[in-house]
Amino acid sequence: MTRQMTGAQMVVQALRDQGVDVVFGYPGGAVLPIYDEIFQQNDIRHILVRHEQGAVHAAEGYARSTGKPGVVLVTSGPGATNAVTGITDALMDSIPLVVLTGQVPTFMIGNDAFQEADTVGITRPCTKHNWLVKDPAKVSETIHQAFQVATNGRPGPVVVDLPKDVQFAQGTYTPPQQANLGHYNPQVKGDIDAITQLVEMIESAERPIIYSGGGVINSGTAASQLLRELVDATGFPITSTLMGLGAYPASGKSWLGMLGMHGTYEANLAMHGCDLMINIGARFDDRITGRIADFSPKSRKAHIDIDPSSINKSIHVDLPIIGDVGHVLEDLLRVWKSRGRKTAQAGLEKWWKQIAEWKSVNCLYYKPSKQAIKPQYALERLEALTRGHDRYVTTEVGQHQMWAAQFMGFEDPNRWMTSGGLGTMGYGLPASVGVQVAHPDALVINVAGEASWLMNMQEMGTAVQYRLPVKQFILNNERLGMVRQWQELLHGERYSHSWSEALPDFVKLAEAFGCKGIMVKDPADLDDAIQEMLDYDGPVIFDCLVEKHENCFPMIPSGEPHNKMLLGDASTKDAIQQGGAVLV
């Protein structure tokens, strides 16, 4: 069925046909026709954010917690440029987003018109793909194509730039079934010969490790199920990147905790000492590998990834398998079972003994305190008091993010939303808004540092307006904790601009926003305060004053290999020298 309608009507119809139920956005001159159409319908809910960056992070939270693409609607010029950080964040973490931007009318493009920016030019390197739609006849088809590109293959953000005259113009609507979606069709099935080779490796490996990543979450809940089946059936130890937490449950018996710069001792040493590394949907990020030349020197490496450009990008692998994690794991399990479910039992038992030894180091140990709340303790208590809840956790970026990854347990995929690749301070609050919109009855907590949180604190207004009971759990050390830590370890304790002298009173701030504020500084009061936060039926800003100079350990200094971890304050003196200081 084809219908005549305006470009703006086509936008709304296309979103409807794509199954979109919520859009995060902010109106402005160049998107007024679309906003007019949104006003006149009830199928698609619009969440008015307070800043366009917030809209994109909220859409990311929505997407990451549902597995569906997030949709953003912003105006031209500053609307689009404000969205750029969020779009880049989504690209780095492979989050599917469709970002619709208004543009000045086609006849004014290039004229330095009011609120004009070269949106497709600016967003070209930070999107998976983008389009400027100049022909009204192409509006609906382009939006359908945008969803196809955003969600297929390695997911990512796309931008559709819509000039205002195109929104007003009449055209024929093309429904998704009739749209020409182009030739983009990435391979999802892995090469069966390569998969069989991996099975052979699995059968003979004596010191294997599975290293899983965000790709497992992106592949869907079925992929997480298959991963669990593989891990449990083989008895192989598993670690995960920051992005992949929850794909395998933290309570699972083969779980070693997160790996990487602030990962556990046992996970990193197992990575270093393994003889078979199976990378499932991760990308050998520099936070994971440390020094490339000394990365897991004695292992054979297999890498399952849907993006061919991830293969051999930083780490040379022996066995690449290009395909969707879910499809590949399904074939892998089938082949492995059909060949008799073999593993090298004796070697594996020795390997687990070695891992148990590493575990006994108790790398997440911190010195408890009765005077100050240790941030790790705060998260342990938060974890204990919220375990069993229908819980989603977002974070900002910094020490608190790493502590949350270390001290909170994730039992299921899509429950953990964090800015991994780009490391965007200001991600967590808007992301929690997006998660809560998608899951209105769930407990949504943003574990934050006060500095990150202030970067997008305006989004508390969104939370209050839409009665989203997000819990902002701020570990307040009055410092840029991770910056401070690096300055202590790398820059001779010269704390250049890493503390805030004029922080707001968060309780009063909460009152000003029209929500609840709770402040706690005595460890003895912490449990009651957390319980009060959980019991309150609305958004809460929880100001948890913590130990100011706590460092996040374990830590692999930049440029060091996995077996050169720092475990605690005692080991840090002079451990990092000039050469390491040039790295991020």
Partner 1 sequence: MSALKIKKGTSKHSAYDLRDPNAEVMETHTLAVIVDNEAGVLARVIGLFSGRGYNIESLTVAEVDHEGHRSRITVVTTGTPAVIEQIKAQLGRMIPVYDVHDLTVEGPAVERELALIKVANTGEKRVEALRLADIFRANVVDSTLESFVFEMTGTTDKIDAFAELMRPLGLVEIARTGVAAMSRGTAA
Q: At what angle do helices 375-386 and 399-407 cross, to 10 degrees?
A: 40
Q: Rule CB under 8 A: say whether 372 interacts with partner 1.
A: no
Q: Rule CB under 8 A: say whether 367 interacts with partner 1.
A: no
Binding residue for partner 1, selected from 292, 356, 384, 512, defined by CB under 8 A = 292
Which positions from 229 through 248 interact with partner 1, judged by CB under 8 A?
A: none
* CB neighbours of residue 313 within 10 Å: 15
Binding residue for partner 1, selected from 128, 300, 471, 479, defined by CB under 8 A = 128
Binding residue for partner 1, selected from 107, 114, 184, 365, defined by CB under 8 A = 184
Q: Rule CB under 8 A: say whether 570 interacts with partner 1.
A: yes
Which positions from 96 through 115 interact with partner 1, judged by CB under 8 A?
A: none
State the nearest-atom distance from the C-beta of 216 to partner 1, in Å: 20
**Cα–Cα distance for residue pair 211/224, rounded to 1 Å:** 13
Encoded one letter per residue, x for contact with partner 1 by CB under 8 A and - for no contact, window 143-162 reads: ------x---xx--------
**Cα–Cα distance for residue pair 24/108, rounded to 1 Å:** 27
- Residue labelled with tokens 């070697």: 347
* Centroid of chain to Cα 266: 24
* Centroid of chain to Cα 119: 24
Q: Where are the beta strands (DSSP E) in 438-547?
A: 443-449, 471-476, 516-520, 540-545
Binding residue for partner 1, selected from 98, 132, 195, 533, defined by CB under 8 A = 132
**Cα–Cα distance for residue pair 551/508, rounded to 1 Å:** 29
Selected range binding partner 1 among 232-240, 336-344, 493-501, 552-560, rule: CB under 8 A = 552-560
Binding residue for partner 1, selected from 119, 289, 419, 462, defined by CB under 8 A = 289
Return the sign of the alpha-carbon dihedral for residues 262, 266, 269, 270. Answer: negative
Quote the DSSP letter at residue 67: S
Binding residue for partner 1, selected from 143, 421, 558, 562, defined by CB under 8 A = 558
Question: Between 419 and 558, whose beta carbon lies closer to partner 1?
Answer: 558
The two structure tokens encoding residue 14? 């296309």
- Residue labelled with tokens 């199920």: 225
Binding residue for partner 1, selected from 182, 297, 440, 514, defined by CB under 8 A = 182
Q: How far is CA 456 from CA 13, 240, 397, 417, 428, in A?
A: 32, 29, 12, 16, 9
Q: Rule CB under 8 A: say whether 259 interacts with partner 1.
A: no
Radius of gyration of the chain (CA): 24
Is 506 marked active-site?
no
Secondary structure of residue 202 in the 3-state scheme: helix
State the nearest-atom distance from the C-beta of 332 to partner 1, in Å: 23
Is 52 marked active-site?
yes
Q: How far is CA 403 from CA 170, 175, 366, 486, in A?
A: 54, 47, 11, 16
Q: Rule CB under 8 A: say whether 560 interacts with partner 1.
A: yes
State the nearest-atom distance from the C-beta of 168 to partner 1, in Å: 21
Terminal Cα-to-Cα distance of the chain (whole angstroms): 55
Q: How far is CA 168 from CA 15, 25, 74, 164, 285, in A?
A: 17, 20, 17, 7, 45
Question: Between 36 and 286, whose beta carbon lies closer to partner 1?
Answer: 286
State the nearest-atom distance from the C-beta of 238 to partner 1, in Å: 24
Q: At what angle do helices 192-204 and 325-338 cross, to 10 degrees?
A: 60
Q: Rule CB under 8 A: say whether 580 interacts with partner 1.
A: yes
Question: Between 50 and 129, whose beta carbon lies closer to partner 1?
Answer: 129
Q: Rule CB under 8 A: say whether 420 interacts with partner 1.
A: no
Q: CB–CB of 47/466 below 8 Å?
A: yes
**Cα–Cα distance for residue pair 535/533, rounded to 1 Å:** 6
Is 516 marked active-site?
no
Question: Between 502 and 582, whose beta carbon lies closer to partner 1?
Answer: 582
Binding residue for partner 1, selected from 180, 338, 371, 578, defined by CB under 8 A = 578
Q: Rule CB under 8 A: say whether 365 interacts with partner 1.
A: no
Please tell me the number of Cα atoms within 13 Å of 227 on its side-chain side: 39
Question: Between 107 and 114, whose beta carbon lies closer to partner 1?
Answer: 107
Is 473 marked active-site?
no
State the nearest-atom distance from the C-beta of 568 to partner 1, in Å: 7
Selected range binding partner 1 among 119-127, 204-212, 381-389, 498-506, rule: CB under 8 A = 119-127
The two structure tokens encoding residue 88? 């880049």
State the nearest-atom distance from the C-beta of 185 to partner 1, in Å: 11
Binding residue for partner 1, selected from 124, 467, 508, 549, defined by CB under 8 A = 124
The two structure tokens encoding residue 81? 């440029």
Catalytic pick among 5, 18, 24, 52? 52
Catalytic pick among 68, 108, 115, 138? 115
Return the sign of the alpha-carbon dihedral for residues 65, 158, 93, 202. Answer: positive
Question: Between 4 and 314, whose beta carbon lies closer to partner 1?
Answer: 314
Selected range binding partner 1 among 47-55, 312-320, 376-384, 533-541, rule: CB under 8 A = 312-320
Per-residue buried b or exposed e for 408-446, using 16+ beta carbons within 10 Å of the residue's own CB: bebeebbbbbbbbbbbbbbbbbbbbbbbbbbbeebbbbb
Selected range binding partner 1 among 10-18, 224-232, 305-313, 460-468, rule: CB under 8 A = 305-313
Is 53 marked active-site?
no
The dihedrals phi and psi of 466, each to the nearest 5 degrees, come to -100, 15
Q: Rule CB under 8 A: say whether 567 interacts with partner 1.
A: yes
Catalytic pick among 92, 482, 533, 565? 482
Q: Rule CB under 8 A: say whether 559 interacts with partner 1.
A: yes
**Cα–Cα distance for residue pair 191/182, rounded to 1 Å:** 24
Catalytic site positions: 52, 114-115, 164, 482
Site for partner 1, rule CB under 8 A: 120-121, 124-125, 128-129, 132, 149, 153-154, 182-184, 186, 286, 289-293, 307-309, 311-314, 316, 557-560, 564-568, 570-571, 574-584
